[in-house]
């Protein structure tokens, strides 16, 4: 556990123990400093397995992660009033969710633009193979969600680094289709283990055994969803860059430094001389020299980091600050006035719908970074000036 100086709930500790006791866990669990209670397994944990995967540990936001790019713009190039920039970003990237009788989902495309269609064409052949086996996946908002942000803690930010250079950054995953894939295989794992669920400390630790048909299908489906998530972030970044160029007259370049990394995913890796499946549930790969992104909360710093390749962590680091309270608790405890004070320096929404994302609902990002100083080194420190929430 890399948790020195950061709080860890008793319930999260028990979840870690429950997971660690499963017979197919390889070597040990690695626990990141942003660890907190999750569904079945804790968020902020690295779960190496041999011969099995736990679908609920991977979760339903498969491939959720971050993308960031540094531009050639400087703080002085930004307008004094950033509202127009936030509005342009909100128009360029569908976000949130508003559905009801006679209303479409504003968080999806009504008519996907050519860029989305081009990315979807790359994903479509493998998706059709999945639908042949699991027809219900066809009835997801797959094409229309590609290049959209979603809800909850998904966000788009314009940031400044320590040298006042402008960065564009966003956080999202595989949207509705990833949720459907995750939910489908969580249910299949529980159905396959129906006779053994009573022996598990939590039914959400139900697993798929290697060699079974559902295991092979899950590996195929989760790999596709992770690709979808990467395409999703790439489309949004392209539209974010375009929106920024509409507002800022000065021409600029991007990809000066760029990072695109998952933090909810599973893949095969070699550790301690063995080939294993590594599930990172709220954790980022941090191989030696590998760049990653560790965002803070709304109003807190974020970090571009370089991995140190610590073998005990399975070459991983945290995926953010980590919550210290539930969304409902944050809504009970804080007010819009609290949100306004906490985000006074950021151009963002300041209303009752985003109180659950208030910075005080998260751990201290600086304490989290200090606790994992043996996992990563800081390359850039970012502070947000614009934030668009889902």
What is the sign, positive or negative, of the torsion defined by CA atoms of 114, 178, 154, 152?
Answer: positive
Q: Is 5 left (phi over 0), alpha (psi -120 to 50) or beta?
A: left
- Concerning whether 319 is annotated as a catalytic residue, the answer is yes
CB atoms within 10 A of CB 232: 30
The stretches of the chain forming alpha helices (DSSP H) are 10-20, 55-58, 83-92, 114-133, 142-145, 175-192, 213-247, 327-333, 336-342, 365-371
CB atoms within 10 A of CB 28: 12
Q: Which residues pair with 281 in a beta bridge?
A: 45, 264
CB 86 within 8 A of CB 347: yes
250-279 CB burial, b ≥16 within 10 A, e <16 = eeeebeebebbbbbbbbeebebeeeebbbb
Residue 340: phi and psi, rounded to 5, are -60, -40
CA dihedral 110, 244, 151, 173 (to 10 degrees): 90
CA distances 358 to 32, 114, 144, 329, Å, are 22, 36, 29, 11
SS3 state at 64: coil
CA dist., res. 231 & res. 163, Å (int) = 30
Annotated catalytic residue, options 171, 319, 345, 380: 319
Sheet bearing 291-294, strands edge to edge:
258-262, 65-74, 165-172, 155-160, 376-389, 302-307, 291-294
CA dist., res. 51 & res. 29, Å (int) = 16
CA angle at residue 220 from 294 to 123, to 5 degrees? 75
Catalytic residues: 319
């Amino acid at each position: 556990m890399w948790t020195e100086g950061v709080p860890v709930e008793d319930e999260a500790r028990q979840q870690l123990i429950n997971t660690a006791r499963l017979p197919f866990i390889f070597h040990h669990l690695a626990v990141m400093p942003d660890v907190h209670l999750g569904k079945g397994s804790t968020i902020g944990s690295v779960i190496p397995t041999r011969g099995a995967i736990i679908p609920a540990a991977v979760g339903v936001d498969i491939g959720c992660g971050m993308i960031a790019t540094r531009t050639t713009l400087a703080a002085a190039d930004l307008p004094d009033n950033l509202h127009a920039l936030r509005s342009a970003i909100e128009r360029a990237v569908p976000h949130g969710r508003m559905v009801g009788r006679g209303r479409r989902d504003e968080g999806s495309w009504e008519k996907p633009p050519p860029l989305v269609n081009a990315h979807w064409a790359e994903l479509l052949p493998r998706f059709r193979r999945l639908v042949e086996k699991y027809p219900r996946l066809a009835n997801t908002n797959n094409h229309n969600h590609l290049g959209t942000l979603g809800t909850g803690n998904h966000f788009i930010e314009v940031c400044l680094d320590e040298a006042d250079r402008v960065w564009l950054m966003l956080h999202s995953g595989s949207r509705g289709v990833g949720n459907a894939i995750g939910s489908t295989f969580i249910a299949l794992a529980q159905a396959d283990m129906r006779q053994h669920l009573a022996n598990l400390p939590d039914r959400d630790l139900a697993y798929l055994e290697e060699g079974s048909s559902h295991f092979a299908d899950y590996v195929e489906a989760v790999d596709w969803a992770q690709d979808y998530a990467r395409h999703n972030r790439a489309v949004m970044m392209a539209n974010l860059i375009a929106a920024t160029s509409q507002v800022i007259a000065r021409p600029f370049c991007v990809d000066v430094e760029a990072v695109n990394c998952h933090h909810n995913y599973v893949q095969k890796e070699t550790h301690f001389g063995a080939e294993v499946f590594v599930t990172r549930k709220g954790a980022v790969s941090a191989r030696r020299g590998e760049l990653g992104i560790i965002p803070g909360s709304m109003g807190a710093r974020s970090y571009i980091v370089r991995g140190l390749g610590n073998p005990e962590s399975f070459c991983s680091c945290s995926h953010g600050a980590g919550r210290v309270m539930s969304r409902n608790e944050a809504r009970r405890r804080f007010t819009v006035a609290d949100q306004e004070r906490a985000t006074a320096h950021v151009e963002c929404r300041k209303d009752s719908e985003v109180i659950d994302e208030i910075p005080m609902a998260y751990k201290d990002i600086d304490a989290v970074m200090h606790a994992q100083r043996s996992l990563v080194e800081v390359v850039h420190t970012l502070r947000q000036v614009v934030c668009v929430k889902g």
